[in-house]
Amino acid sequence: MLANQGNSRIFGLDLMRAIAITMVLAGHCLWIYPQDDSLFHQLLQLFGFFGVEIFFVLSGFLIGKILYQLYLKEDFSLATVFYFLKRRWFRTLPNYYLVLLINILIAGIIGYEMPHLWRYFFFLQNFKITMLPFFTESWSLSVEEFAYVVLPFFILFLGIFIKPKNKSKFFFWAILLLILLFIFNKLYYQYTTNNTTLDQWNASLKAVVLYRLDSIFVGVLFSWVFLNFSSFWQKSKYIFFVLGTVLLLFLFFSLGYFGLLIASQPLFWNVLYLPILSVAVACFLPYLSEWKAAPAVLTKPISHISIISYSIYLLHYSVILQVMKYGFPVDLQNRVGLYLFTLVYIVLTLVLSTLLYRFYEKPMMDLRDK
């Protein structure tokens, strides 16, 4: 028996979001265990990175559909832009600022440094510089928030100088131009930065707003294809799925074989790697967006994790894991103790995230329609 989730939920997209947050959670579990060079350890590191990239593309796909429909239905004006932003901000800002204040309280108690704290209130902690050491997972939220602002204002601004005869094509070219603009930023980084290590790449490019907005705009571009070529989207979902799989296999398992290492090929890593990864992730959207329903035994847990994923993202690392490691340190040599600690951490994350969503995030989201 398949569970029908109604018009508002699509199982495949819920699955995509649930996989993303599970990957991020798994990646941050590494903070519990001692460092080693095992394949499992390396895979968990990869999971954390890949989970965020899934979030970027999926977010772009979802907001792209909303903004495109707003753009076509009415005269696109400043009022339209603020209507769009109001709905996005009621979705993201209340949770963020609440958890930011909780992080400040925790850091104050344990004596953790909070340099340039004011930047966190304006999402400037990683706008053009390496991510600051406090509340580190918030780097991706800065990318999201700036994408929400840049996207509608760019379309509005471009429309002042170019009066489109075909609004659909205008939207497409505007998004493509935005993608190219932020890829150009990566090219600028390539020729102004001497970067030959993955550690530097992670800190000064991968997690910096000025170089990352194209990842979200790739999702927006795919939303345009979805809305304008629905038949092609449905018929080609398996082709896209295979293409996405091939690209991921190339990026994650073939780089060493082809000698595409950052020390010898910084241009590939600094300019091409992340856009190719975004396209690879986006190639799974046709298949997953057409996966409307699933057996109820799958739908309920997947849907729930998807719904609370934003609360999980905000709470799991700097709040829950930080407090647990500070208040209940474990012996790194005791594997049973580490496993038990991990289990408690995961259960506590799910419970507290559910409570945060039910009693704060959801009530705040409901205000946007009033």
What pTM does this model have?
0.95
Task: Name the pLDDT band for 154 (thresholds 50, 70, 90).
Answer: very high
Q: What is the pLDDT of residue 191?
A: 93
* Backbone conformation region of residue 123, classed left if phi is above 0, alpha if psi is from -120 to 50, else beta: left
* Lowest pLDDT segment from 142-156, 188-202, 251-265, 277-291: 251-265
DSSP string, 318-350: IIIIHHHHHHS---TT-HHHHHHHHHHHHHHHH
Q: Is the pLDDT of residue 177 over 80?
A: yes
Q: Name the more confident of 39 and 117.
A: 117
- The predicted pLDDT at position 254 comes to 81
Query: What are phi and psi for residue 82, nearest 5 degrees?
Result: -70, -30
Q: Mean pLDDT in the chain?
A: 92
Instruction: List Cβ neighbours of 96 (8 Å cut-off, separation of 6 or more).
Output: 138, 141, 314
Looking at residue 46, what is its pLDDT? 84
Q: Per-residue DSSP letters for 51-82?
A: HHHHHHHHHHHHHHHHHHHHHHHS---HHHHH
**Which pLDDT score, from 0 to 100, does residue 6 have?**
41
Mean pLDDT of 129-135: 88
pLDDT at 113 > cutoff 90: no
The predicted model gives 285-292 an average pLDDT of: 97
State the angle between helix axes of 11-28 and 296-307 in degrees (0 to 180), rounded to the nearest 10: 60
Q: Is the pLDDT of residue 278 over 90?
A: yes
Direct distance between the N- and C-terminal alpha carbons of the chain, in angstroms, rounded to an integer: 37
Strand partners, 294: 3
Segment among 142-151, 331-340, 354-363 with least mean pLDDT: 331-340
| Tens-place pLDDT, residues 207-235 | 999 999 999 999 999 999 999 999 999 99
Q: What is the distance between the alpha carbons of residues 44 and 337, in angstroms, rounded to a whole number?
A: 20
- What tens digit of pLDDT does each residue of 2-61 get? 444 444 789 999 999 999 999 999 999 888 888 877 777 777 888 899 999 999 999 999
- Please answer whether residues 339 and 61 qualify as being in contact, where contact means their C-beta atoms are separated by less than 8 angstroms: no
Question: What's the pLDDT score for residue 228?
Answer: 97
Give the pLDDT mean for 288-302: 94
**Which residues 6+ apart lie within 8 Å of 272 measured at CB?**
none
